[in-house]
Structure 1
């Protein structure tokens, strides 16, 4: 998800208490895939709203990542157990925002269905709201009405208001809680003083609509100090990795979101990993930017001007890797050439009618999967640093109806907007975000591993 404006970040020492982990042990969050996916029109609508803003290693934290397809969303979920005793929450894994937040309720006698939809504050003995004068409170955006502390109240709580590009808002109290996590050795550890937003007011399509069904909040993985990856990275290594598994596979496979690791090691032997620099945009410091150098279709390099891909001095352009956007969006000049090249080289008949919102659809009726994939042009992205990303055609030609596949690469029309590599294009790759070295590693070899 893309936040509306950058948040001024102040240095904060976050104290996390946990049991000692054995050498080579790391904490795990499952990243699981569910089917069926949402309809293409739902995914497209969700993405357009979002774009309108715009080995052996030390302990690390990992968790399964769950596709939200079965509940009508193109997002991927991470299950986080929060509170004392722990309450299970499904949170959207989002590299495009910073705040960890959950929908909260102050009820005491709650129905079973209500319990599954909210974090129940009064049921946790470890919930602590930050004071409005605290250093922690300075890390989150506030509404104009809540910026001034009430001097007559010794315990004025920190109120936050976090906005997304489509006008969606999560607002409530900025607090700390205990998180319960499982390690790779099937041990349970407690992580205390994890900062998060307790959202008592949640409104807008990004956080309440069809794209959010099945989730109780967002696990921000961005570059800001309040993100999940930043808070845990201070203690386990300032990197994280994940795989987004192919949603067409059945039974649905499991992969993991891993936080931390040895700064000198990668999740795979380096021979299997390609690296490209992560760029910083001071105007939008949350996002993970990479630099596309060239793009090819069917082995032919397209004559896209380098200026189309560049991130300029005022923060325009560039390319964002975003787990919270489903489709892939390219700057208009690049998209026009990709679309023309795909039309020229695809060896399948076009459909009589396009799926709404898509530019190129082909008829695959009666054809096996291998035959379809062989008839679709190969896409190649050459990135800064010499890395080459060659996603399989199923990552960018997706089923939109029975016997129909459409090109899931669309145009960004707004002047100066960034291109976005969405989660469909990322499927089947292991991605490692190494923030200390400011680089992104990726490989097609790692997703089958039980990391």
Structure 2
């Protein structure tokens, strides 16, 4: 057979690449983003609570469905723009604290029914993004407490207080609780602390610092916590008499990490080391957020990815992120190596409830951002905003088409709603791509990307799951 003329072969090759480039530029997958500005309607609190209600026993927890609340409910005197700026400020402190803890490292452990509890998000004066109402002591005194998947120790501000920040509720006074009990210095619970101390009465002392300047110190004790209809006895918690930092507004913190003293680990036998939460879109919805503990926390529709173990740090929820797709196409330039957790405990990807904006290692973020910009070339660009370098002027529009974004975890592809990655940053129609780069090796999947999913933490099965449309 005679060979084709060289110019004919070149023509054929040119046509091939023309069709290849044309199909690749027009075959992106898009979805509709309905444009909602920053929320302008404050959501008031209506949190039913009772100190005289009938409580189940400590050995037989029941599943409880509660009315839930969200948004910046405790900051009714601030504009949406002010709240958003405060949120980004908190986020910067949060990321600094997590990366600091990851760099230092620390030191890690079935049957029951479950309960659920109310969640409020966005306390403007505090560092915690999500709060729940919990009764402390006997009889229970109800206070706001931060829910935090990035820390372990449960603690509450206590009277008498040598140094305390301002909180919404009165200080908890352990002298007025029938169930409060100190922990001896030599007890196993005391020895589980990273930095245990001992006072002259031979009872245990604790101290926790959060890397951003926040800290709490005081007596390490056991106390009863009440989640409305469910009472949980002998929870080891810090009774803080010296507290400082960004927790202003809330009375303390409910540690939901993987460590030895976290609430899920302490209540492992009772609630089978399972909990989940669903966080609503705080700019577009008045529906409630929720947290559920126990077997009912596991959604049947969740897609699961295995939890990874960090040999240097047992607090965080590490997962394996393999890649990211934009418009149905894997982003070139992003590989699993960018997110690898190495044997020394460096790098990796964590799921965190307290971080808002997802942080990716800088090379991965740059590749993702460039792919998204390519898919939104028809949208009018706007100036950078705070940490966001990809923003759009969508004023005058009610909806736009944006390329899909999918996070590819091992065993679980998580397709994000458009509202989870293109978010309003003001009331004038400016929307920004809600990812950011970091020079740290640690990548963090934040709560904006988690919105609307029921995120399941199954410590018994060593896995994390994502169930879409999980807040209903």
Normalising by structure 1, we get a TM-score of: 0.80
* 2:117–2:132 Cα contact (<8 Å) kept: yes
Tell me the SS of whatever aligns to 1:406: strand
Structure 1 residue corresponding to 2:430, chosen from 385, 393, 404: 404
RMSD over aligned CA atoms reads: 2.4
The match for 2:239 is 198
**What per-residue deviation string (whole Å, max 9, x for no partner) do you get for residues 223-253 of structure 1?**
1121111112221212111101111234x22
Matched, 1:85 2:142: no
Structure 2: distance between partners of 1:256 and 1:48: 24
* 1:30–1:62 Cα contact (<8 Å) kept: no
The match for 1:258 is 292
Tell me the SS of whatever aligns to 2:416: coil
Tell me the SS of whatever aligns to 2:236: strand
* 1:172–1:197 Cα contact (<8 Å) kept: yes
**What per-residue deviation string (whole Å, max 9, x for no partner) do you get for residues 181-201 of structure 1?**
23xxxxx34322111111111
* 1:172–1:200 Cα contact (<8 Å) kept: yes
1:410 deviation in Å? 0.8
Structure 1: distance between partners of 2:66 and 2:340: 35
Tell me the SS of whatever aligns to 1:365: coil
Matched, 1:218 2:244: no
1:398 deviation in Å? 1.9
The match for 1:249 is 284
* 2:59–2:270 Cα contact (<8 Å) kept: no
- Structure 2, unmatched stretches of 5+, are 1-55, 73-79, 103-110
The match for 1:12 is none
The match for 1:296 is 325
Equivalenced residue count is: 391
**What per-residue deviation string (whole Å, max 9, x for no partner) do you get for residues 381-405 of structure 1?**
11112x1101112112222122111
1:367 deviation in Å? 1.3
Runs of 4+ aligned structure 1 residues displaced above 4 Å come to 27-31, 69-74
Structure 2 residue corresponding to 1:136, chosen from 172, 189, 195: 189
Rg larger in structure: 2
Alignment of 1:45-444 (within 5 A): 45-53=92-100, 54=102, 58-69=112-123, 75-106=129-160, 116-142=169-195, 146=197, 149=198, 153=200, 155-182=201-228, 188-203=229-244, 208-209=245-246, 212-250=247-285, 252-261=286-295, 267-269=298-300, 272-303=301-332, 304-346=334-376, 347-351=378-382, 353-368=383-398, 371-372=399-400, 374=401, 376-385=402-411, 387-402=412-427, 403-414=429-440, 417-444=441-468
1:355 deviation in Å? 1.3
Distance 1:30 1:89, change over 3 A: farther
The match for 1:13 is none
* 1:97–1:286 Cα contact (<8 Å) kept: yes
1:328 deviation in Å? 0.5
* 2:290–2:471 Cα contact (<8 Å) kept: no
1:117 deviation in Å? 4.7
* 2:388–2:432 Cα contact (<8 Å) kept: yes
**What per-residue deviation string (whole Å, max 9, x for no partner) do you get for residues 136-155 of structure 1?**
11111327xx4xx46xx5x3
Tell me the SS of whatever aligns to 2:213: coil
Structure 2: distance between partners of 1:117 and 1:339: 46
**What per-residue deviation string (whole Å, max 9, x for no partner) do you get for residues 81-128 of structure 1?**
001221112111111111111111227xxxxx9781522223322211
Matched, 1:18 2:57: yes
Distance 1:192 1:100, change over 3 A: same
1:73 deviation in Å? 5.8
The match for 1:32 is 69
1:260 deviation in Å? 1.4
